[in-house]
Amino acid sequence: MDVAEHLFRHEWGRLVAALTRAFGAHNLPLAEDVAQEALCRAMETWSYRGVPANPQAWLMTTARNCALDVLRRERTVRTFGQELQRYMLSEWTIGPAVEALFADHAVKDDLLRMMFSCCEPRLPEESQLALILNILCGFSVDEVAAALLAGRAAVTKRIVRAKRTLRQSGGLFSLEARSGFAARLPVVLRALYLLFNEGYHGASRTSVIRTELCGEAMRLAALLLDHPVGAAPETYALSALMCLNAARLPGRIDALGELQTLEHQDRSSWDPGLLAEGLALLGRSAWGTNASQYHIEAAIAACHTTATSLAGTDWRKIVQLYDALLRIAPSPAAALSRAIAVAQIEGPQRGLTEIAAIAGRERLAAYPFYEAAMAELELRCGRHAAARRHFGAAVALARNPAERVFLERRARACGGHSPRADS
């Protein structure tokens, strides 16, 4: 039997979460050490004997046994988690107490508890993401840095600080208090949304790890849907949005590993299973009174995915949805998307006028697709020199090789000299 893809990475989060509950949040580093020990044992034993019938249970049992050793050894020199502390007085009560702490029903919600703990509102969003990836998704510091396109030193600092906050928080987030849960859920959804977008917009053949972020965000969202209080309409809407976008990932990157515009995407490469699942989730999100940002974004994605071609897209509905989105979550990026949709109905010149009228458009200055959008519209107006200038600016702002190659290729459509920024 083979090891399931990413099994170690996924089980890492469960192990650390369960061990942290046992040891207490203040002992997070110890929990990580013991989780590492459990994986080491798996590495050695499985190499020789193959994968056990239930690898997840094997790992949890091994972690429990390692934890028991630690607790026996250190019971007089450390304090542990609240649930455990009162059993620590006697050698005889530790065993059964630990057994109960790691029982199936006890560890069931640990990952969720840890997810909510990582989304501590006092932490900046980028720290929440780094923490989720490191603790829940088992990414090393280097992997987090690669996935978030950040420097190793900056990521290290971010994770160390965030873990200190977590250790000093007094305990893991409690899922039992419904009011606290409802207040924290938006923070968690936002973090998963950002995590997914990081992967989606950075996807390329050369950085597989960026695409894996999408899978991780979807996995964690599915975990939320599995829990009675996590399965809110917004959670369904966010899951729908992620499915509908993930379905189009294979089309965003062509056979040569290059980004493709929606116009040139091979729509037959979109994943029909994910599309169907996304639409079903969107249907299930339609209850309650609040149409969230995720509802509207998912509805926009649904418009794109159910259209058979660019021309056959319901652009009027898309513009209406962007209007609704801008009312509840105004952002220059959303306004730019709206302007592009308007141009599909009323022509490129109108699109340029809409772009010029975007409130706060100076915040788009570093965004390559802002320049690229103006370039495309200028090109459609027949103004090649202006298009070339905007593409040149876009290339200079490209954030990764895939974007650069894509923008350079589009720039060549204007004719004339290539606006290579680095020459």
Partner 1 sequence: MSEFTFLFRGRQTFESPEEAQKHVQQWMAWFKELGAAGHLKDPGHPLEARGKVVRGSQRLVTDGPYAEAKDVVGGYITVEAADLAHAAELSKGCPILGVGGSVEIRPIQSL
Residue ranges in contact with partner 1 by CB under 8 A: 2-3, 6-9, 11-12, 39-40, 42-51, 138-140, 142-143
Residue recorded with tokens 């530790």: 94
Residue in 252, 250, 231 with CA at minimum distance from that of residue 240: 231
Cβ neighbours of 92 (radius 10 Å): 9
93/140 with CB nearer partner 1: 140
Alpha carbon separation from 126 to 52, 102, 145, 162, 368 (Å, rounded): 37, 31, 11, 10, 21
215 Cβ contact list (under 8 Å, min separation 6)? 199, 246
- Least distance from partner 1 to the Cβ atom of residue 137, Å: 9
3-state SS class at 259: strand
- Least distance from partner 1 to the Cβ atom of residue 338, Å: 40
1/256 with CB nearer partner 1: 1
151/360 with CB nearer partner 1: 151
- Least distance from partner 1 to the Cβ atom of residue 6, Å: 7
- Least distance from partner 1 to the Cβ atom of residue 38, Å: 10
16/387 with CB nearer partner 1: 16
Taking the C-alpha atoms of residue 215 and residue 198, their distance in angstroms, rounded to an integer, is 11
- Least distance from partner 1 to the Cβ atom of residue 47, Å: 3
- Least distance from partner 1 to the Cβ atom of residue 142, Å: 7
Residue recorded with tokens 């994943």: 271
- Least distance from partner 1 to the Cβ atom of residue 61, Å: 17
- Least distance from partner 1 to the Cβ atom of residue 419, Å: 39
33/271 with CB nearer partner 1: 33
Assigned token pair, 144 = 């987090």
5/263 with CB nearer partner 1: 5
234 in Cβ contact with 186 (< 8 Å): yes
136/274 with CB nearer partner 1: 136
Residue in 402, 395, 397 with CA at minimum distance from that of residue 207: 402
Alpha carbon separation from 323 to 291, 304, 328, 337, 342 (Å, rounded): 13, 16, 9, 11, 11
Helix, strand, coil in percent for the chain, rounding step 5: 70, 0, 30
1/77 with CB nearer partner 1: 1
43/177 with CB nearer partner 1: 43
Rg (CA), the chain: 24
257 Cβ contact list (under 8 Å, min separation 6)? 204, 205, 206, 402
- Least distance from partner 1 to the Cβ atom of residue 37, Å: 11
Assigned token pair, 249 = 């990932």
